[in-house]
Amino acid sequence: MHTVHSVVSPSPPLIQPPFVTSLKAKPASPQRAGSPRVRLVELGPGRGTLMSDFWRATARVPGFHEAASLHLVETSPVLRTAQARLLPDAVWHDSLAQVPDDLPLLVIANEFFDALPVRQLQRTEAGWRERMVTHDGSRFVAGAGALPLDALVPPALADAPVGAVWETSPAATAIAAEIGARLAASGGAALFIDYGYTGPATGDTLQAVRAHGYVDPFVDPGEVDLTAHVDFAALAAAAGTTAHGPVGQGDFLLALGLAQRAEALKARADTRGRAHIEAATARLTVTMGALFKALALTDRDWPTPAGFGTEAP
C-alpha cells in the first residue's frame, strides 16, 4: 500500500503537518486550540514511519515537542516492536478508549479505515440481501443471504439495479463516532487519509492484496490483506462534529506547500535524487491524488486545518 509519507523518507519532510500550522495560525480559544498541551495519537501506525516523519518535521516548531505526548493505538506486538525502534518515547494502547481524556487530541489515521471489516448488501430480485460467504464444495464463494435488509439501505440507493452492491462498515463508523465524541469533550482535531469516496454509492470495493498484487479474496483466507474503499461521508456523519472535506489528496498536499517543498529539495539533490522527488510528487498528487482523500474533524471551537480551504502559513 502507498502512504502519504512515501515522498518524505528518508529526505526531510516535504510539508508542514497541517495540525501544527493550524495551531500556529489562529487559535480559536485559549482552552482549546491555544492549549499548551495535547496528546498526539496515531491509529494503526504500521511500522511507525509516518509518525516518525511527523515528529521530525515538528522538531522546528517552538514548544510543540514539549507540549505533545505521543500515543500509538496498536494491538500487534510485532508492529509495536518495529514502532519502538523509531518512536521509543511513545505510549502504546490497544484502543482509543485507553488514551487519557484530560487533554485535547490530535488524531491521525492514515490508511487505517480501509482495513476495517465491511458488510456488503446486494440487490436481488427479491430485494436487498446481505452478501454472505458459503462453500461450493471446492472453494469459498459469495452468495446472497435470506434475511430481507431493505431497511438498512440509504433511500437514495433503494432502487439500484439488481446485482448492485452497497457497503457499510459498522466498525469504521463506531470509531469515527468515538473520535467525534472525544473531540467534543476535550477539544482537538483528527485527520483521516485513505482511498475512498463520498457516499452513499454502490460498488463492490472489497479486494485482497498479496505481495503488492491483487488476488482473489476467497482464496487462502487469513493469508492475504483485505481492504475496502472508505465512505468519507459516512465517517463524517458518524463523528457528529465539524467536518472539513473530504478533499483529494493531491489538492490537500499542494495546499500544504508540497510543490514548493519539492522544489527546495530538488535544488539540493543530484540528478537521480531530482528524478525520485519528481516521481514521488507525481505519485502523491496525480496517480493517488484523486482516489486518496483527506478528511479532517475538529471540535467546534477549533480552526479549520490548513489544507481544507486554507493555505499553510
Give pLDDT tens digits for 33-83.
Answer: 555 699 999 999 999 999 999 999 889 888 889 999 999 999 999 999 999
pLDDT > 90: what percent of the chain? 76
Residue 311, pLDDT score: 54
The residue ranges of every structural domain in the chain are: 18-116+169-216+224-298, 119-168
Please write the tens of the pLDDT for every residue from 175-201: 999 999 999 999 999 999 999 999 999
pLDDT > 70: what percent of the chain? 87
Q: Which of 189-193, 296-300, 309-313 has the lowest mean pLDDT?
A: 309-313
Q: Which residue has the higher pLDDT, 3 or 162?
A: 162
Please write the tens of the pLDDT for every residue from 115-157: 999 999 999 999 999 999 999 988 899 999 999 999 999 999 9
pLDDT for residue 165 is more than 80: yes
Kindly report the average pLDDT of the chain as a whole number: 88
Please write the tens of the pLDDT for every residue from 252-270: 999 999 999 999 999 999 9
Q: Which residue has the higher pLDDT, 251 or 310?
A: 251
Residue 164 — very low, low, confident or very high, per pLDDT cuts 50/70/90? Answer: very high
Q: State in words which class domain 18-116+169-216+224-298 has.
A: alpha beta
Q: Which cell goes with 34?
A: 491555544
Residue 313, pLDDT score: 45
